Amino acid sequence: MAARILLVRHGQTEWSLSGRHTGRTDIPLTEEGRRTARLLGDRLAGRPWDGLRDAEARTSPLLRAADTCRLAGFPGAKEWDALLEWDYGDYEGRTPAQLQELRPGWSIWRDGVPNGESPDDVAARADDVVAWARSAPRDVLVFAHGHVLRMLGARWLGLPPSFGAALRLDPASLSVLGWAYGEPAIERWNDTGHLG
């Protein structure tokens, strides 16, 4: 069983800055996103992480996550489609305000999206990541996206997909899922202390 699974949300993009849902559109990091990815790498290189030399790293293949991974000091991470962001289908590129005008009361965590993924679809991918992490002989580190990482947090805890709505994640944040008294636990969530 892995001692921990460390989660990193990618750095800032133009769409994350404006609040647009960014699923499979391959948006690059802004210069600020690149800067914060390097700051995260500096933090992981120091104590108590010591570069996570023994951790197995994986990343979403999308540019914003893969570049965050590389800039943080993990260029050899394996790309994994299970870490792709939620497929927002017809809602790709829209803001939450636009979606509330279109469908008052809509929640991605309950309703999913037309021509995209349902909460159960994303939960199934998150369950694959959880199973991999729990079978790993050492810590694992993943670089991915806000919604899929929130789903991963919910599924690590054994909670329904809708619990992901309660787990906020900022760009370039660090979260750690581990164990407390033999039960899955959140050790750290949405930590941005390295950003000053």
Q: pLDDT at position 53, please?
A: 85
Q: pLDDT at position 13, please?
A: 97
56 is catalytic: no
Reported as a single tens digit per residue, the pLDDT across 151-170 is 999 999 999 999 999 999 99
22 belongs to an annotated ligand binding site: yes
pLDDT at 60 over 80: yes
85 is catalytic: yes
What are the φ/ψ torsions at residue 49 (nearest 5 degrees)?
-80, -30
- 3-class secondary structure for 133-182? HHHCCCCEEEEECHHHHHHHHHHHCCCCHHHHHHCCCCCCCEEEEEEECC
64 belongs to an annotated ligand binding site: yes
Q: pLDDT at position 2, please?
A: 62
13 belongs to an annotated ligand binding site: no
List 21, 56, 85, 92, catalytic entry: 85
Q: What is the pTM of this model?
A: 0.95
Question: Which fold does the domain 5-195 belong to in CATH?
Answer: Rossmann fold (3.40.50)
List 10, 21, 145, 147, catalytic entry: 10
Reported as a single tens digit per residue, the pLDDT across 102-137 is 999 999 999 999 999 999 999 999 999 999 999 999
